[in-house]
Amino acid sequence: MTEVTSTSTQAKETSAADAADSTATAARPSAGSGRGSRPLLEVRGVTKRFGGIQALSNVSLEVAPGETVGLIGPNGAGKTTLFDCVNGLMHPDAGTVIFDGQRIDGMPVYRRARLGIGRTFQKIELFAGATVREQLMVAEREKRGDGRLWKDLLWRGAPSPEEVDEVDQMVKSLGLEDVADTPAEAISLGQGRLVELGRALVQRPRLLLLDEPSSGLDSNETTALAAVLTVVRRDFGTAMLLVEHDLDMVAAAVTRVYVLDFGRMIASGPLDDVLSDDAVRAAYLGQAPLAPS
């Protein structure tokens, strides 16, 4: 029996919440994948509407401590909206978001960040004029809460030896030594995505939401990024929820995936099983072929 389940055949009378709950249960990781059996992140029946658009409809999922989980689905499926509801940029119309046993869906972004939810964005934005090292230093100092504006953070007093050390370590972990003192506008998109990842990582998140980190990268850069994620998981034990269109990258990084389509969770389970699921294939019809190369 495979873990993949979908709502396609049981028709749509079954509520998406029920279906998503059953898929989440089916795909629930074993207790060995994290601390105890309690999930780090629990999304329960989250719904989000924009006017007439039902961006999310009773969506549920779980991520265990230290686990890397994929979230895939066609354009407009609701993946970024779900991230927004988890990190606090948006508040769901209904449903709950629980982090490490604590309900967080009413909390602002900064409080969720303090609890350990980090995020990278689909469209990266780096500080113009600041070097790679400085971009990371801003995030490092922000973590300590000793400033408000990035300029203050950068120029108000010299960084402490600990801060310099943390940033140096991150530069090394990301393989950015060659461009550490290069301004953001002179680095490649791939390097920029690594800086974005580093800015999230210096905050030492327990959960990292990655929104299409390989977007715009060539295949070498994508391979390098996948390798970095493996190191992050191994060295920091960070749990990750990965939104990604590059299925090779998904296959390399995750143990299981959830599939969103038109705001509904239509399947979950190991990637190979999910990709051969009829509902998933139908959702992707007309899009790129569904097999990792």
Ligand X SMILES: Nc1ncnc2c1ncn2[C@@H]1O[C@H](COP(=O)(O)OP(=O)(O)OP(=O)(O)O)[C@@H](O)[C@H]1O
Report the interface residues with ligand X, using CB under 6 A.
50, 53, 55, 73, 75-81, 122
For the record, the structure tokens of 235 come out as 């060295």
Nearest Cα to Cα of residue 132 among 103, 161, 175: 175
- C-beta of 16 vs 187, nearer to ligand X: 16
Q: Among ligand X, Mg ion, none, what does residue 50 contact (CB within 5–8 Å per kind)?
A: ligand X
Amino acid code (one letter) for 246: D
Rounded least distance, CB 260 to ligand X, Å: 6
Rounded least distance, CB 244 to ligand X, Å: 10
- C-beta of 90 vs 197, nearer to ligand X: 90
87 binds Mg ion (CB under 5 A): no
- C-beta of 121 vs 127, nearer to Mg ion: 121
Distance CA 40, CA 83 (A): 15
Give the CA count within 13 Å in the CB-facing half-sphere of 10: 13
58 binds Mg ion (CB under 5 A): no
Query: How many other C-beta atoms are found inside a 10 Å radius of the C-beta of residue 85?
Result: 24
Rounded least distance, CB 263 to Mg ion, Å: 12
- C-beta of 140 vs 212, nearer to ligand X: 212
Rounded least distance, CB 141 to ligand X, Å: 31
Q: In angstroms, what CA-CA distances link 186 with 66, 128, 132, 169, 192?
A: 34, 10, 10, 22, 10
